[in-house]
Chains A and B, each alone.
Chain A
Amino acid sequence: MKVSYYPGCSLHATGREYDESVKAVSKALDIELNEIDDWSCCGASSAHMTNFKLSVALPARNIIAAEKDELDVMVPCAACFNRFKSAQYHLGNDEALRAEVEGIIGEEYKGTVAVRNPIDIIYNDIGVDKLSEVVTKKLEGLKPVSYYGCLLLRPPEVCEFDDYENPTIMDALMTSLGAESRKWSCKTDCCGGSLTLGKTEIVKRLIDRLMTMAREAGANCIVTACPVCFANLDTRASENVVLPAFYFTELIALALGLDGSDAWFKMHNVDPRPLLSSLGLI
């Protein structure tokens, strides 16, 4: 299959291993990525927290650019995904806003392309059966908790992703790789997101709680699809509770035996390689 690809700013910086692992996994699963021409930032939390119209117009510019190719748009970053879906929701439900935003961008918004996270694309279009068929190294001994966070799920009528209180599709992907996905009650809790710079102590408290609950659930790592969550998990946990974090695509790549994973793991602040080598996975 072929999709439009919106990496977003984080994936070209602190989320570099997410970008590279999404590309490697997509190639292995025959998903052709067509990067949106001259894309720009989605505005993230800072736009919608301070200026509603800006928060619709910034993603709209990228969605309109993607509409020329009439392909589904893959948005790996949960924060960008949420802003894209939110813009589509408002543009689809508010004609006056839509006309104004079209005026600002200078082009028509058609609303014809679906914005999708790679978890959804791999789960629904590739499927767990196909995924487990191409696994060359089962992730035996790896016990991740799937951490979905806020922005893939809420509000549900905007995100249209999975069950918003108990999502399971990332868990299903982990199981198909041979990992032992652990059940826990913090799948959809908040990591504090963009408060990480302005109010670091709040984020530390939330992250320590997540790590503690993951340990209580018998996990030895946390898996996510959000570069904001990942950065907080990877840098804000106290030493006595910390567990390594992964992007879900890094684990798919590892299980598929794809090149590059060692270079990605080296970029983590919390080095996951001791865990992986103790399990004989690297």
Chain B
Amino acid sequence: MSTFLEDVNERIGGVPIQGCYHCRKCTAGCPIAFAMDYNPNAIIKMIQMGMRDRVLNSSTIWLCASCETCVTRCPNNVDIARMMDVLREMAIEENVDAKEKNVLKFHEAFLSNIKLGGRINEPLMIALYKMKSGDYFSDLGMGMSMFMKGKIKLLSPRTKDMKSIRNIFKSTGK
């Protein structure tokens, strides 16, 4: 049976994360580190130590905004941003209760919306997110104001060849 470290490295498919020598450049440049429960370099160490549950249950993997500052600056070319993608994929596959539920619910609402029309219809996507998250009231005033200014429309053109879109989702779904 493979270790957590081996699983993560295989999925990243690039530089093995143990190339990290903990200079903490990733953490120093991470714009979201202040809100994370573990810093990006700590996540690397925890993976090496086989702490699968704590990593997949962390807020860090959901709060990472994929700004890619970490991988751009890493002196050892460890793809930390891709590592975060991989950890999110693993958490979803293993049905881990996401520590930052609303972030995952946003992604689910976004992708369901593409599956439905091929393109994002913002009011529908946000309505779906609000239903999933239970966060009904924030930004309502902003939404109304944008609607009045003609920035958001209830109906928007969809992709015509929806068969191809459904096929992409079917073929890449796990």
Contact = CB atoms under 8 A, between A and B. Distances in A.
Interface of A: 9-10, 12-14, 16, 38-41, 43-54, 57-58, 61, 103-106, 150, 153-156, 164, 188-190, 192-195, 197-200, 202, 205-206, 235, 266-267, 269
A46 B106 contact: yes
Contacts, number: 160
Contact of A104 (B105, B153, B167): B167
A53 B107 contact: no
B42 interface: no
A52 B89 contact: yes
A105 B119 contact: no
Contact of B120 (A16, A41, A154, A155): A41
Given A199-B35, A267-B149, A267-B150, 15 more contacts: A10-B120, A12-B119, A13-B151, A40-B114, A48-B66, A50-B111, A51-B111, A150-B65, A164-B72, A190-B32, A190-B69, A194-B106, A197-B106, A198-B133, A199-B103
A58 B67 contact: no
A16 B153 CA distance: 11
Contacts of B35: 199, 202
17 contacts: A9-B120, A12-B157, A14-B122, A38-B160, A50-B85, A51-B111, A54-B173, A61-B168, A104-B171, A150-B67, A193-B65, A193-B66, A198-B133, A199-B63, A200-B138, A200-B139, A202-B32
B3 interface: no
A43 B114 contact: yes
A187 to B, nearest CB: 12
B102 A40 contact: no
B59 to A, nearest CB: 10
Contacts of A12: 119, 156-157
A13 B72 contact: no
A193 B168 CA distance: 25
B69 A13 contact: no
